[in-house]
């Protein structure tokens, strides 16, 4: 058998297996929970890509940012210009900048109260909880309260939670968990964060 015939037979077998899996898959008839975690870059960026995908289909989208504070980012400016995303930046900045755990807890609690209200409202097809995992990592929020908020969400609402060190209970609860792994980072070579690439 020639290489071309062998390849075709292999692809036909793969196609049939993929069709079988697709035919057996079901619509859960509820929003999904996605967790983007890991020590590599791209967790929030990937979530913003999901926002673009949802907007492309005419879906309603909300964002609650837990950590980044008033830091000006390209994505925040873009979505503000677009005017189609209900965006709430509620953190006070990176934890090493605030240096006040009580203030961080207060900010995270207020942010999650807003997120819980949005998730339960039924007004959104997608909500991104950006850096929520960091708020959990530092015990600014309890895992139980976050899971309760996710449980109480509208059936139509999917949620993406970003940030490194996602809690195991959250990963168990989620429908999809993606881990970004760092291989190489320019900051470790002394290169400062670049506008339009890093923020």
Q: Indicate the domain borders of the chain.
A: 34-181
- Check whether 36 has a pLDDT greater than 80: yes
CB atoms within 10 A of CB 149: 21
- Check whether 93 has a pLDDT greater than 60: no
| pLDDT tier, 1 (very low <50, low <70, confident <90, very high otherwise) | low
| pLDDT tier, 92 (very low <50, low <70, confident <90, very high otherwise) | low
Distance between CA atoms of residues 21 and 17, nearest Å? 6
Is residue 115 within 8 A of residue 86, CB to CB? The reply is: no
Which residue, among 165, 126, 129, has the nearest Cα to 145 in the 3D structure? 129
Dihedral sign for Cα atoms in the order 72, 78, 80, 81: positive
Any idea which fold 34-181 has?
Rossmann fold (3.40.50)
- Interval 131-157: pLDDT, tens: 999 999 999 999 999 999 999 999 999
Mean pLDDT computed over 99-124: 93
């Amino acid at each position: 058998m020639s290489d071309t015939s062998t390849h075709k037979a292999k692809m036909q077998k793969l196609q049939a297996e993929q069709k079988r899996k697709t035919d057996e898959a079901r619509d859960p008839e509820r929003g999904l929970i996605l967790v983007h975690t890991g020590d590599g870059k791209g967790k929030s960026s990937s979530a913003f890509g999901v926002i673009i995908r949802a907007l492309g289909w005419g879906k309603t989208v909300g964002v609650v940012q837990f950590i980044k504070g008033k830091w000006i980012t390209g994505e925040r400016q873009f979505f503000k210009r677009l005017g189609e995303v209900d965006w709430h930046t509620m953190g006070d900045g990176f934890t090493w900048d605030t240096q006040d755990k009580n203030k961080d807890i207060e900010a995270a609690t207020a942010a999650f109260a807003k997120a819980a209200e949005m998730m339960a409202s039924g007004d959104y097809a997608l909500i991104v909880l950006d850096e929520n995992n960091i708020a959990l990592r530092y015990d600014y929020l309890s895992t139980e309260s976050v899971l309760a908020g996710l449980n109480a969400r509208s059936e139509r609402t999917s949620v993406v939670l970003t940030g490194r060190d996602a809690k195991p209970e959250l990963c168990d609860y989620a429908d999809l968990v993606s881990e970004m792994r760092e291989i190489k980072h320019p900051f470790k070579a002394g290169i400062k964060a670049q506008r339009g690439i890093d923020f």
